[in-house]
């Protein structure tokens, strides 16, 4: 993300209200586009389903199938997202840009293999085959989109990324409306419309990638060696996914959970408030890039360049003080903005959401308010955790996300069987603990930054070899042999 922050700094340096809106708009879509698309499409197809006269149970089934597919794709991609991000960053830093796209293809292939489990679930899910096929196709599209986002942070075509999002959203909703208006089977029609929306995003994002990165050279599985090199990163992705989504899944087995059809369960009294509450953290996601990284990265770069290029001790100490001051100041600004955003969403949502056709009750509004606070603490904790990764404190990030995952699961299990007034409090407490643990770790690490930079480094560099690295080496050997053979034939 440092690369995208550096480029956004150019946009924010331009004067004028329009330039500021343009910079925030681009950064917002770049950072939250696919997730925001999911939120918009979930609400949009629900409204179109209401317009098309779909019965309540059919509406719930449609939302359940899209939600299950979103969560399944996110959990699969979370297993490798941190690994591939680090691999791409290392390749770009070392000037091996040609290895970026092969890793893109390889990571997608691995994750598609993981999607076999979701395919098995769909077969036994108890829904019609056409729905199963649509969910599987949507799952594959989502895996590609989530992966593309990891790689798009290096692409500077903000206008292209922004237009992709707008066209994808507009096309999906327009297609859904037309299909239903023409008398097509509503649920299948709306699923197909969502597929069209994400399909446009897949094709356009891929076009941006191949225009920016050179033709691939090297094994598509070389990135697997980074699993052995940075094993904590895989855990970070998995645990943050569990912490963020476990409360939704567990609530499906709560007293307010319902069996929609077959293996598809839901808890509308919890899921719908969670959907709206999640939107309250998009501001922090945007601000993290535009404020923390845009202002922090130059200080970070100067500090480490002094080590690499023979800076004096006085200069290093001064740079460290500026680095630390900027870091915590910008985090403070981010948290303050999230606080005000949460207050606005809580007050505004309480007044406006009941007027929307989502059947909000007083109980659901209570859950919504609690989850707004819970997501706010998650957003703050996640920003802090990402900053620990900035300093390569992978163990610290793993520790904080593991605590978050455990607290989220245990807290939800404890509160889900009690009174409805306590729904969401398990997730909220998990967010508070996550933020506290991550902040303590970051604070203690930055206080002894020079020690970690100099004294904690190994005297002799050694490569970690494991099963993943062995597979990577075998694939690299096979690729080299094939390349030599082709050269001889030519």
User: What dihedral angle (degrees, nearest 10) is formed by the CA atoms of 301, 304, 305, 306?
Assistant: 130
Quickly tell me which residue has 């007083």 as its tokens.
362
Contacts of 166 (CB under 8 A, 6+ apart): none
User: What dihedral angle (degrees, nearest 10) is formed by the CA atoms of 451, 454, 459, 462?
Assistant: 100
CA distance 94 to 215: 17
The per-type count for the chain, helices as H runs and strands as E runs, is: 19, 2
DSSP for 283-343 reads HHHHHIIIIIIHHHHHHHHHHHHHHHTT--HHHHHHHHHHHHHHHHHHHHHHHHHHHHHHH
How many alpha carbons lie under 13 Å from residue 414 in its C-beta half-sphere?
Answer: 12
CA distance 113 to 98: 25
pLDDT at 479: 57
Long-range residue pairs from 321-330, CB within 8 A, at least 24 positions apart, any chain: 323/296, 323/299, 323/449, 324/446, 324/449, 326/295, 326/296, 326/299, 327/292, 327/296, 327/299, 327/387, 327/446, 330/291, 330/292, 330/295, 330/296
How many alpha carbons lie under 13 Å from residue 276 in its C-beta half-sphere?
Answer: 25
CA distance 85 to 132: 31
Give the SS3 label for residue 266: strand
CA distance 120 to 277: 32
CA distance 359 to 22: 35
Give the SS3 label for residue 259: strand
pTM for the whole thing? 0.84
Report DSSP state, residue 281: G
Contact 391, 449 (CB under 8 A): yes
Contact 149, 73 (CB under 8 A): no
pLDDT in tens, the chain (490 residues): 444 444 555 555 566 666 656 665 656 555 555 566 667 777 777 778 777 777 778 888 888 898 899 889 988 888 888 888 888 888 887 888 888 888 888 889 888 887 888 999 999 988 899 999 999 999 999 999 888 877 876 555 566 666 777 788 888 888 888 888 787 788 888 889 889 988 988 898 888 888 888 777 777 788 888 888 888 888 998 999 899 889 999 998 888 888 888 899 888 888 888 888 888 887 777 777 666 667 787 888 888 888 877 778 888 888 888 888 988 988 888 888 889 989 999 999 888 888 876 677 888 889 999 999 999 999 899 989 988 988 888 899 999 999 999 999 999 999 988 787 889 999 999 999 999 999 999 999 988 888 887 776 665 555 666 666 666 666 666 656 665 666 666 6
DSSP for 176-195 reads HHHHHHTT--HHHHHHHHHH
3-state secondary structure 410-430: HHHHHHHCCCHHHCCHHHHHH
DSSP for 351-387 reads HHGGGSTT---HHHHHHHHHHHHHHHHHHHHHHHHHH
Provide the token pair at 208. 């941006």
- CA–chain centroid gap for 149, Å, is 9
Quickly tell me which residue has 């059809």 as its tokens.
261
pLDDT at 3: 44
């Amino acid at each position: 993300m440092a690369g995208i922050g550096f480029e956004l700094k150019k946009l924010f340096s331009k004067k004028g209200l329009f330039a500021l809106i343009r910079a925030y708009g681009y950064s917002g879509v770049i950072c939250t586009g696919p997730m925001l698309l999911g939120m918009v499409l979930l609400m949009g197809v629900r409204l179109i389903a209401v317009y098309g006269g779909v019965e309540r149970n059919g509406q719930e089934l449609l939302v359940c199938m899209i939600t299950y597919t979103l969560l399944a794709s996110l959990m699969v991609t979370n297993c490798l997202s941190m690994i591939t991000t680090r691999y791409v960053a290392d390749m770009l830093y070392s000037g091996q840009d040609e290895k970026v796209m092969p890793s893109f293809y390889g990571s997608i292939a691995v994750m598609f293999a993981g999607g076999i489990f979701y395919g098995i679930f769909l077969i036994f899910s108890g829904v019609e085959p056409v729905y199963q096929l649509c969910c599987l196709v949507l799952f594959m599209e989502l895996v590609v989109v989530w992966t593309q986002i990891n790689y798009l942070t290096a692409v500077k075509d903000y206008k292209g990324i922004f237009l992709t999002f707008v066209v994808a959203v507009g096309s999906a909703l327009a297609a859904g409306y037309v299909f239903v208006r023409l008398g097509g089977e509503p649920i299948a029609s709306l699923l197909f419309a969502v597929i069209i929306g994400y399909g446009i995003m897949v094709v356009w994002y891929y076009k941006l990638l191949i225009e920016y990165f050179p033709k691939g050279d090297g094994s598509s599985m070389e990135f697997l060696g980074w699993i052995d090199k940075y094993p904590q990163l895989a855990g970070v992705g998995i645990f943050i996914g569990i912490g963020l989504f476990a409360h939704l899944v567990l609530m499906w087995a709560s007293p307010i959970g319902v069996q929609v059809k077959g293996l598809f369960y839901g808890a509308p009294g919890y899921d719908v408030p969670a959907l709206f509450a999640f939107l309250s953290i998009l501001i922090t996601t945007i601000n993290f890039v535009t404020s923390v990284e845009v202002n922090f990265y130059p200080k970070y770069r100067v500090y480490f360049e002094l080590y690499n290029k023979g800076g004096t001790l006085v200069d290093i100490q001064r740079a460290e003080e500026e680095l630390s001051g900027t870091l915590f100041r910008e985090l403070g600004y981010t948290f303050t903005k999230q606080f005000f955003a949460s207050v606005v969403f809580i007050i505004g949502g309480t007044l406006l959401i009941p007027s929307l056709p989502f059947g909000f009750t007083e109980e659901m509004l209570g859950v919504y308010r609690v989850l707004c606070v819970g997501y706010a603490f998650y957003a703050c904790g996640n920003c802090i955790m990402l900053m620990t990764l900035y300093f390569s404190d992978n163990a610290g990030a793993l520790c904080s996300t593991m605590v978050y995952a455990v607290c989220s699961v245990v807290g939800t299990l404890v509160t889900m069987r009690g009174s409805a007034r306590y729904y969401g409090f398990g997730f909220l407490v998990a967010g508070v603990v996550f933020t506290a643990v991550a902040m303590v770790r970051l604070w203690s690490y930055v206080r002894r930054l020079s020690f970690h930079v100099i004294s904690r480094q190994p005297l002799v560099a050694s490569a970690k070899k494991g099963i993943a690295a062995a597979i990577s080496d075998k694939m690299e050997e096979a690729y080299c042999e094939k390349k030599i053979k082709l050269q001889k034939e030519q």
